[in-house]
Amino acid sequence: MKKVVLTNIGCSSAGAKPIATSILSAVLKKRGHSVSLFDTTFMDLGFMLDGEISDRLKMFKPVDWKGRGLVRDKNVDAKEEFIRFLDREKPDVIAASAFSDMYRHTMEFLRIAKERYGIPVIIGGIHATLLPDEVIAEDCVDALCVGEGEDALVEYVDSLDGKKATRTDIKNLWIKRDGSVYKNSLRELKELDSLPFMDYSIYDERQFLRPFEGRILRSGDYQDKRGCPRRCTYCAYAVINKDIYPGGRIKFYSAERFAEEAKYLKQAFDLEFFKIFSEDIFLRPEDDLARMSELYSKKVGLPFTTSAHPLSVTEKKAGLLKKMNCVSVSVALECGNAQYRENMLGRKYTNGQFARSIKILQEAGIRAVSLNMIGLPGETRKMIFETIEVNRKVKPDFADFGCFFPFRGTPLGDTAVRDGLAYPGEIKRSRSDHGKSILHMPHLGAEEINGIMKMHHFYLRYPKALWPFFRLRERDNFFKVKA
Ligand code: B12
Ligand code: SF4
Same domain for 166 and 287, yes or no, is: no
Same domain for 386 and 451, yes or no, is: yes
Same domain for 170 and 232, yes or no, is: no
Same domain for 275 and 363, yes or no, is: yes
- Which pLDDT score is estimated for 52? 81
Same domain for 246 and 118, yes or no, is: no
What amino acid is encoded at 316 in this protein?
K
Domain endpoint, select from 165, 183, 201: 183
114 in any annotated domain: yes
Which ligand is closest to the CA of 404, given by its number? 1
| Segment holding 469, helix H or strand E | helix 467-474
Q: What is the pLDDT of residues 378-409, one digit of tens each?
A: 999 999 999 999 999 999 999 999 999 999 99
> What is the pairing mode between strands 143-145 and 173-177?
antiparallel
200 in any annotated domain: no
CA 106, CA 431: separation in Å to the nearest integer?
A: 13
Ligand 2 binding pocket includes 237 (Cβ within 6 Å): yes
Work out the mean pLDDT of the chain and round it to a whole number. Answer: 95
Residue 204, pLDDT above cutoff 70: yes
Q: What is the pLDDT of residues 409-466, one digit of tens each?
A: 999 999 999 999 999 999 999 999 888 999 999 999 999 999 999 999 999 999 999 9
Calculate how far, in angstroms, residue 294's C-alpha sits from the geometric centre of ligand 2. Answer: 27
Domain endpoint, select from 123, 152, 183: 183
Which ligand is closest to the CA of 312, given by its number? 2
Residue 65, pLDDT above cutoff 90: no
CA 287, CA 338: separation in Å to the nearest integer?
A: 32
DSSP character for 33?
Answer: -
Q: How far is the CA of 162 from the CAs of 3, 92, 144, 149, 420, in angstroms?
A: 12, 7, 19, 22, 47
Calculate how far, in angstroms, residue 461's C-alpha sits from the geometric centre of ligand 1. Answer: 32
Calculate how far, in angstroms, residue 332's C-alpha sits from the geometric centre of ligand 2. Answer: 9
Residue 479, pLDDT above cutoff 60: no
Mean pLDDT, residues 64-78: 86
Ligand 2 binding pocket includes 240 (Cβ within 6 Å): no
Calculate how far, in angstroms, residue 20's C-alpha sits from the geometric centre of ligand 1. Answer: 8
For residue 275, give the ligand 1 atom closest to its CA.
8
Contacts for 77 with CB less than 8 Å, ≥ 6 apart: none
Expressed as residue numbers, the domain containing 130 is 3-183
Q: What is the CATH number of the domain that holds 469?
A: 3.20.20.70
Q: What is the pLDDT of residues 231-253, one digit of tens each?
A: 999 999 999 999 999 988 899 99
- Which pLDDT score is estimated for 482? 45
Which ligand is closest to the CA of 332, given by its number? 2
- The residue nearest atom 38 of ligand 1, judged by CA position, is 149
Give the phi and the psi of residue 122 in degrees, each rounded to 5.
-125, 140
Q: What is the pLDDT of residues 320-341, one digit of tens each?
A: 999 999 999 999 999 999 999 9
What amino acid is encoded at 218 in this protein?
R
CA 103, CA 82: separation in Å to the nearest integer?
A: 16
* The CA-based dihedral angle spanning residues 371, 226, 107, 57, taken in that order and rounded to the nearest 10 degrees: 20
Ligand 2 binding pocket includes 404 (Cβ within 6 Å): no
206 in any annotated domain: no
For residue 229, give the ligand 2 atom closest to its CA.
4
- The residue nearest atom 1 of ligand 2, judged by CA position, is 230
74 close to 43: Cβ distance less than 8 angstroms: no
336 close to 388: Cβ distance less than 8 angstroms: yes
Could you please report the per-residue DSSP string of 162-179? Answer: TTEES-S--TTEEEEETT
Residue 1, pLDDT above cutoff 90: yes
Contacts for 133 with CB less than 8 Å, ≥ 6 apart: none
Calculate how far, in angstroms, residue 346's C-alpha sits from the geometric centre of ligand 2. Answer: 10
Share of the chain above pLDDT 70, in %: 98
Mean pLDDT, residues 115-139: 97
Calculate how far, in angstroms, residue 384's C-alpha sits from the geometric centre of ligand 2. Answer: 21
Count of domains for the chain: 2
217 in any annotated domain: no
- The residue nearest atom 28 of ligand 1, judged by CA position, is 20
214 in any annotated domain: no
- Which pLDDT score is estimated for 477? 58
Q: Give 222-265 as a 3 state SS string.
A: ECCEEECCCCCCCCCHHHHHHHHCCCCCEEECCHHHHHHHHHHH
Q: What is the pLDDT of residues 133-142, one digit of tens each?
A: 999 999 999 9
Same domain for 230 and 133, yes or no, is: no
For residue 238, give the ligand 2 atom closest to its CA.
5
Mean pLDDT, residues 173-179: 95
Same domain for 227 and 171, yes or no, is: no
Same domain for 469 and 328, yes or no, is: yes
Same domain for 21 and 157, yes or no, is: yes
Which ligand is closest to the CA of 187, given by its number? 1
Same domain for 268 and 342, yes or no, is: yes
Domain endpoint, select from 167, 183, 199: 183
254 burial class (0-12, 13-18, 19+ CB within 10 angstroms)? middle
Mean pLDDT, residues 61-81: 87
Q: What is the CATH number of the domain that holds 115?
A: 3.40.50.2300
Contacts for 205 with CB less than 8 Å, ≥ 6 apart: none
- The residue nearest atom 3 of ligand 2, judged by CA position, is 279
In which band, very low, low, confident or very high, does the pLDDT at 88 lie, cut at 50, 70 and 90? very high
Calculate how far, in angstroms, residue 117's C-alpha sits from the geometric centre of ligand 1. Answer: 29
Mean pLDDT, residues 148-160: 98
Same domain for 173 and 258, yes or no, is: no
Same domain for 30 and 134, yes or no, is: yes
CA 455, CA 474: separation in Å to the nearest integer?
A: 6
481 in any annotated domain: no
126 in any annotated domain: yes
Mean pLDDT, residues 142-162: 97
188 in any annotated domain: no
Q: What is the pLDDT of residues 44-59, one digit of tens each?
A: 999 888 888 777 777 7
121 close to 96: Cβ distance less than 8 angstroms: yes
